Structure formats: structure tokens, C-alpha cells
């Protein structure tokens, strides 16, 4: 029987009514909801002679981010929303700009690097299977605080190296880049996990050099014009990536909306993250 994913294509952006630059294949692994796509025209080739990647810009956001309200307003009203209005609503949400970390929740943990030996994972599903359950972490004693001074707990004292693929990314108000990392698109079962390129800690921080290096590598690969804003950018094909970083349990999302773009959340089985990323190689 033919694979329906290979035959289901469209040349129309449902959200705006515009014509797509190239066929959209909504059933491919890691694709956004078809009615969230606001633009598909951007392509870039980060390495001369290497693969070309298509950036599919969407209105999908983390629902707890302030930009969700702005985008919701932009989508209200009669008729198709103007592309320029959507682009403005999906811009980088940081009120300050720049690269410095602007958050507070568990700041001490997010801006530190674990001391554990590096564990290697060639399949994201193996990493996820190795993580303590959400219930275990929520109910651990002592309880994980969400205060800015909350340091890493024992279970977070793990460093990992992961070979995977970058499917989507967004920028957050605290100046973190929120990466959605997934399994090989040919692996069969889809599975995704959040990994974050943190905003910069103070220059005197022991983690500054590693976090700054990862941030520079990420920004250099995409170039300033192709960095995501509040609305998730999805990538086709997904971009091969090698990530090094420290494990982090996102206690702030143990209740309420979990991080991640709505169209992929059903295949994001954990609120554990790699945070911060200390080294990244894309492509």
C-alpha cells in the first residue's frame, strides 16, 4: 500500500491563502500544523556546496510566552491575516534584546554546567528512556525550588552528548533559543525533546565560555537573518545536530502548559531538557 505521507502535498498556505514556494508535505515527521504556516519562502545553504534547508515560519508559540497573546490578536478578525502583521507579531520577544540571560526561574541551575561524566546517545529515545519520571522529580525530597537560586539537584548532575536532528526552534523572552530536537526522521516513531541555548551568564561565570561558544556557533550557522523569533521556525529537511549539554528538569512546567510547539507536543514525552547546551554542531 502506498505511503500516504509521500502523496499528501499542497501548494497553498491555508493561513494566508498565499501560494507556497514549493510543495508542503504536512504528514512528514516534524512538520507544523498546516494552518499555522505563515511563510515558507526562506531557504539557506549554511555551507557552500552543502545541503539547502527550507525554513517554514509559523504562528506556533509556547503558550506560556507573552508572544502568544500578541499572535492570537493578530489572528483575530475577518479574512486572512496580513503576512506583515504576522511577521511583526512573531518577532523576537525579548524586551531587552541582546544575548544576556533575562530570566529568573531556576537561574542558578540553568546557567551552570553539570560535573558528571559525559554520556553518549546516538538515539534520542535512549536518552529519554534513561530519565527519571516526571512524578519522581515532582515528588522528590527535598522538593525542587523554582527560585532563581535553585541549583542543580543530584539527578541533574549529568552531561550528555546526543546525535539527533533539529526540527524547530524559537526565541524566548529570557533570550534562550528553544530547540526542538528529534530522532532521525526515518526512525519510525517520532520523539522530540527540548534543548536550550541559554542566554549568557555574567562574564565571570565558570559556564560563560561554553555557553557563549554554543550561542555563537548557533547564530553563525543560521546567520542573523534566519534566526527564529517567538513563532517557531520548522526546518525541512530536519538539520543534523550534535549536542553536548547538561540535563535539567523544568520544574516550572511540572504543572500547566509544557514547552514546545503545539503540533509536536503529543510526541514530546518529557519536560526534562538539555539546558544549557555547552557545545553544538549543526549540519
pLDDT bin (cut points 50, 70, 90) of residue 5 is low
Which residues in 156-171 are b (16+ Cβ under 10 Å) and which e?
A: bebbbbbebbbbbbbb
The pLDDT mean for the chain works out to: 94
Lowest mean pLDDT among 84-98, 212-226, 262-276: 84-98
Dist. CA 231–CA 62, nearest whole Å: 8
pLDDT in tens, 120-164: 999 999 999 999 999 999 999 999 999 999 999 999 999 999 999
pLDDT in tens, 220-263: 999 999 999 999 999 999 999 999 999 999 999 998 888 999 99
Give me Rg for the CA atoms of the chain: 19
Amino acid at each position: 500500500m502506498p505511503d500516504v505521507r509521500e502523496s499528501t502535498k499542497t501548494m497553498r498556505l491555508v493561513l494566508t491563502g498565499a501560494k507556497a514556494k514549493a510543495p508542503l508535505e504536512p504528514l512528514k515527521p516534524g512538520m507544523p500544523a498546516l494552518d499555522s504556516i505563515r511563510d515558507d519562502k526562506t531557504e539557506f545553504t549554511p555551507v557552500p556546496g552543502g545541503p539547502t534547508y527550507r525554513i517554514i515560519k509559523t504562528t506556533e508559540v509556547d503558550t506560556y510566552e507573552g508572544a502568544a497573546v500578541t499572535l492570537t490578536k493578530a489572528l483575530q478578525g475577518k479574512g486572512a491575516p496580513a503576512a506583515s502583521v504576522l511577521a511583526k507579531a512573531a518577532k523576537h520577544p525579548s524586551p531587552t534584546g541582546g544575548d544576556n540571560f533575562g530570566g529568573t526561574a531556576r537561574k542558578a541551575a540553568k546557567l551552570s554546567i553539570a560535573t558528571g561524566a559525559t554520556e553518549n546517545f546516538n538515539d534520542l529515545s535512549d536518552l529519554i528512556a534513561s530519565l527519571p519520571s516526571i512524578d519522581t522529580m515532582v515528588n522528590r525530597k527535598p522538593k525542587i525550588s523554582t527560585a532563581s537560586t535553585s541549583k542543580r539537584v543530584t539527578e541533574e548532575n549529568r552531561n550528555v552528548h546526543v546525535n539527533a536532528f533539529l526540527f524547530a526552534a524559537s526565541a524566548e523572552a529570557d533570550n534562550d533559543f528553544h530547540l526542538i530536537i528529534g530522532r532521525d526522521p526515518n526512525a519510525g516513531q517520532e520523539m522530540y525533546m527540548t534543548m536550550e541555548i541559554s542566554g549568557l551568564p555574567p562574564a565571570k561565570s565558570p559556564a560563560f565560555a561554553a555557553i557563549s561558544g554554543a550561542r555563537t556557533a548557533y547564530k553563525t550557522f543560521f546567520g542573523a537573518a534566519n534566526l527564529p523569533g517567538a513563532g517557531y521556525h520548522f526546518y525541512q529537511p530536519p538539520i543534523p545536530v550534535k549536542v553536548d549539554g547538561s540535563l535539567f528538569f523544568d520544574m516550572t512546567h511540572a504543572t500547566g502548559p509544557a514547552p514546545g510547539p503545539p503540533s509536536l507536543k503529543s510526541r514530546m514525552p518529557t519536560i526534562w531538557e538539555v539546558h544549557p547546551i555547552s557545545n553544538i554542531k549543526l549540519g
